[in-house]
Amino acid sequence: MAARTRLAGAPALGHGSVEYPGDHARLSLYGMTIMTDNTQNQPAPNQQTPTTPRRDDSDIRLVELRKLRLERVILVGVAIGGGTTHSAERSLEELRRLAETAGAEVLDGMLQRRARPDAGTFVGKGKTRELTERVRQLGADTVIMDDELSPSQLRKLEELVDAKVIDRTALILDIFAQHATSREGKAQVELAQLNYLLPRLRGWGESLSRHGGGIGPMRGPGETKIEIDRRRIRRRLTRLRRDLVQMGRTRDIKRQGRERAGVPAVALAGYTNAGKSTLLNRLSGAGVLVEDRLFSTLDPTTRRLDLPDGRSATLTDTVGFIAKLPHDLVEAFKSTLEEVGRADLLVHLVDAAQPDPGQQIEAVRAVLAEVGAAEVPELLVLNKADLADDLTRARLARQFPDTPLVSAATGEGVERLLAEVAARLPHPVVCLTALLPYSRGDLLDRVYREGEVLEAEHVEEGTRLTLRAPAALAHALEPYGTVVPTTTTSTTSTVSG
């Protein structure tokens, strides 16, 4: 029998543990592969291997069937304590969209109301029996729970329903694994996956046998196979953390260059599928992927944003948030999300077509507080105005007064949004005048990119400017008759010198 190592409740929509026939049993952990030798019952080198008869469809393993069709899943939600059934229904509908994004076929959904979770199975004995019957009737492969379960709860429930059981956290991690494209994004997702999987690793058979402890019979019994696997995972976690620290240094160098140039930073944040990538494309022509599904883009994208007052800023699209976002995932993406905390302005995009946008706003703000971005100035923006009828617009106007209502798809309200962004971004702190010769067109271009031009006049000697500028730009303008800067940002003083 092949040595096997198994993941209790592992993310398994195409990415979980798989038992492979042949010389080895292999555990694939999202970029880390653990191999265990299996030489029992193998033919001798000179012995002819008998021809294996062709199997009919009934002999095909379940793991092989999953390669031929979508995984068939049943969703289970639980309204705990004072939570309303309506809120649990919305969460279950969101879980359905997550499952479909991961590539599953949703067969059914079940909802239960409990005062508190059952310690053994989370849903209790009665609901477990009902769930087992539904799995058998519908031929489901997997049960997806709408809350994060402990390893013991996952293992117990899996044994009782006789089907694979994963939770919401595992499902979200699976989606992130599919959509991460950059080196940093893949490393962050793998870090979160391994942190989640480590306490859920379990085995049986040879995986629990002990390797020799040393020379002679008096030495200790040695480590079990599963202990060796855990040690390898911890070693991989250490390497991933070290690599992410190095990647963070590179990102810090780029950010410091923008800060020295005095370029203001704008960050886009919001619930997943709120239209952040569409808005980024509308404002900057970034050309990033836009799809009507959850977490279609994970890697942050930064582009130049031209403002109505002539200034330029950086606009960064961050990963989307969601209710019950796994803590391991937040920790893994913390270095990337810290970019939001360093922004001068946070544009919080809200899906206006949702029946309860307030709930999504609370979920996003909770994650922002966790990554230290709660104090960043926020501009709340309602998106998808093209999907809102007159009644919805009136309701949103009462619920969110003075909040811009835009449509990233059609461009409605985008000009007002840009004006709001320009008004809320901090102005450069140095007020000055300068006379630039016409031969310094490069410096004039920099003035319009990094500074805020208040007055411009073309004279015989060159271009006379009155502007606000960051310190680095003011220093570059000194050789061209720059006046002594004033200390106020609201007015411009001209001093002859």
Can you give the residue ranges of every domain in the chain? Answer: 1-40+62-211+221-259, 262-424, 430-480
Percent of the chain with pLDDT over 70: 72
Q: What is the DSSP letter of 205?
A: G
At 354-368, the pLDDT tens digits run: 888 888 899 899 888
* Residue 9 pLDDT: 41
* Residue 220 pLDDT: 52
* Residue 103 pLDDT: 86
Query: Interhelix angle for 151-161 vs 125-138, to 10°?
Result: 50
Asked if the domains 1-40+62-211+221-259 and 262-424 are classified in one and the same CATH topology, the answer is yes
Is residue 92 within 8 Å of residue 111, measured between CB atoms? yes
HSE (CB half, 13 Å, CA atoms) of 329? Answer: 22
- Which positions ≥6 away from 19 have C-beta within 8 Å? 2, 4, 25, 63
* Residue 15 pLDDT: 41
At 365-424, the pLDDT tens digits run: 988 888 888 888 999 999 999 998 899 999 999 999 999 999 999 999 999 999 999 999
* Residue 407 pLDDT: 93
CA-to-CA dists, residue 373 to 270, 305, 401, angstroms: 13, 21, 24
Tokens at 60, concatenated: 């095909």
Is residue 364 within 8 Å of residue 404, measured between CB atoms? no
50 vs 47: CA distance, rounded Å = 9
* Residue 485 pLDDT: 43
Q: Is residue 246 within a helix (H) or strand (E), and if so which, with residue range?
A: helix 225-260
* Residue 452 pLDDT: 83
3-class secondary-structure state, position 211? coil
Say how far residue 304 (Cα) sits from the centre of its chain.
22
CATH class of 1-40+62-211+221-259: alpha beta
3-class secondary-structure state, position 41? coil
CA-to-CA dists, residue 385 to 177, 397, 401, angstroms: 32, 12, 15
Low-confidence ranges of the chain (pLDDT < 50): 1-12, 14-45, 47, 49-68, 204-210, 212-214, 216, 218, 484-497
What pTM, to 2 d.p., does this model score? 0.68
Cα-only R_g, the chain? 29
At 5-30, the pLDDT tens digits run: 344 444 445 443 333 333 333 333 33
* Residue 342 pLDDT: 82
Is residue 294 within 8 Å of residue 175, measured between CB atoms? yes
**What is the CATH T-level fold of the domain 262-424, as seen in this structure?**
Rossmann fold (3.40.50)
- Which positions ≥6 away from 3 have C-beta within 8 Å? 25, 36, 37, 38, 203, 205, 206, 207, 225
